[in-house]
Chain A
Amino acid sequence: MQGYNFAYLDEQTKRMIRRAILKAVAIPGHQIPFASREMPLPYGWGTGGIQVTAAILGEDDTLKVIDQGADDTTNAVSIRRFFARTAGVATTTRTADASIIQTRHRIPETPLTDSQIIVYQVPMPEPLYKLEPSKQAAKRRHALAEYGDMHVKLYEDIVRFGRVAVAYDHPVMVNQRYLMSPSPIPAYDNPKLHKMAALQLFGAGREKRIYALPPYTEVKSLDFENHPFHPVRADQKCALCGAQNSYLDEIVTDNSGGRMFACSDTDFCATNSGRAA
């Protein structure tokens, strides 16, 4: 596309973001501030993820973009097309064929390899923000590893609901040191973060933070000894491909309460059906 640098951002900006990424990888789970740029879409639409992808994208990369697991929603389509135009890179919907996967709110069902990078879009990078509204105080807590609060919240959940009630964005401890928000992925996806072979990068554009999990990092969801973390999915089979271990979307089919459950990961579903067929 004329008038734009490769992948939209200028090279100096990419350098700045890569430096932030290096720092983030060096301190897993720790939030690194970066100078988030004006992007051609508003805050809250994935500007952080896009900037991270733009900074690491190369000519030989193959890009996959998903939104809530689907390649064909408006946002996923727009962002994929954006990079196709500004970088001319190959794009794909197949997880196994992608070298970079940008995602909003899900981790693909297909296990990733050590030659892949997954970039998460993050609305609120600070796991403590509900308990500690002051940014300065939150920073101090991370520095002093004062996370007792977070466990108190889980304790209160168990008291009130009999179990930990965090359905998504369940906070995790990284490397036994930093408390991290995994972004609003369903709690069901949390176990995939642990010792993943791929590099995981997290970008928050509005909040101007980048953080990372280098491959094979220890990631543990917060829980109690006798109330262990328990990933939850609907107790159903996918209506399209029959899978019993993928995260399901509940789809309303008519106005009289009819509904069906289907894999949220569209590529996984298609591949699964293909095999079954």
Chain B
Amino acid sequence: MMMLTAQALEKSFTLHLQGGAKLDVLHNAAITVRAGECVALAGPSGTGKSTLLRALYGNYLVDSGEILIRHEGEMINLTNADAQTIIEIRSKTLGYVSQFLRAIPRISAKNIVAAGADTARAQQMLTRLGIGANLQNLAPATFSGGEQQRVNLARAFVRHWPILLLDEPTASLDAANRDIVIALINEAKSKGSAIIGIFHDSFVRDAVADQVLDLSKEHA
């Protein structure tokens, strides 16, 4: 079942503070992903992988084109949806794992993850990702980059997302944790999640992706 399809996406940035310099990033970009499938975005930096991912989340506004998302049985066009709708889609259907954890001060790792599920499952997920019980009750502000990213991942994978967007999920992880993330992604796929990810590590990409979308080719 098709979960997300985007067509004819155009995105450029106008940098007013640099004399109005215009940066064209996406041109006629398109992507489709089905339930249980993982599409990897590939291409050298500057080809718009992150931009596309953020646009699919509604974090960036595209200049034109449409992004259709299956939300609670209906296809909704994200590009002209109102704020309320996008917030709802993000809370129920569309998950996003950024490269860095944006930590809210004072909330423990356990509670950050438990926001999406119950405490017991939160603890399980954190433990699986190598965040032990002693760290779970602390706020992640003082964690290392890798530890923070694992909290970030735990928060996403603790619950089921019909569509999940991953931006460099294993960038700051060692091999062992990387393998755990691969397992998590494959488990999510088998439960029907449609996944779009940016994976710099080709090992990871080969282990999870069913399709690779090379944006540098699209750009040409």
Query: Do A and B have CB atoms closer than 8 angstroms in the complex?
Result: no
